[in-house]
Amino acid sequence: MDAVLVATLGAEPQVVTLATNLLMRQSALARVVALHTDAQHPPIDRALPALHTAWSARVDLPPLTCAAVAVTDMLTPSDFEHFANALFDLLNGRSPQRIVCTCCWPAGANLWC
């Protein structure tokens, strides 16, 4: 069974790399998927290039897929619902095989929306 890390990219792109490093100590990862809000707005406009730069510098990391969700930020219940639906679609419909999925949410995320 393939192991996949699904992470949310926020202002601190090193969190995705750190979570990847920690999980790779336990088992191999087939890939990492980083969901993020609109890359034209802060902080993603800086975090996304930084994540790509860090990833390209390391040959030992699994393939990285960055998936944009069409919201500017996670500020309203509607934003969160749109983001959650994108996550559900990713987990439910994108992979024909079974996967072991670890989700990494930022500690400060407004998950109460």
Q: Is 64 within 8 Å of 31 (Cβ atoms)?
A: yes
Each residue of 83-107: pLDDT tens digit? 888 888 887 765 555 556 666 665 5
In this predicted structure, what is the pLDDT of residue 46?
Answer: 95
Each residue of 2-57: pLDDT tens digit? 788 888 888 889 989 998 999 899 888 889 989 999 999 999 999 999 999 999 99
Q: Does an H or E element contain 19, and which?
A: helix 14-26
Distances (CA, A) of 44 to 20, 29, 52, 58: 19, 24, 12, 21
* SS3 of residue 17 by DSSP: helix
pTM: 0.82
DSSP 101: E
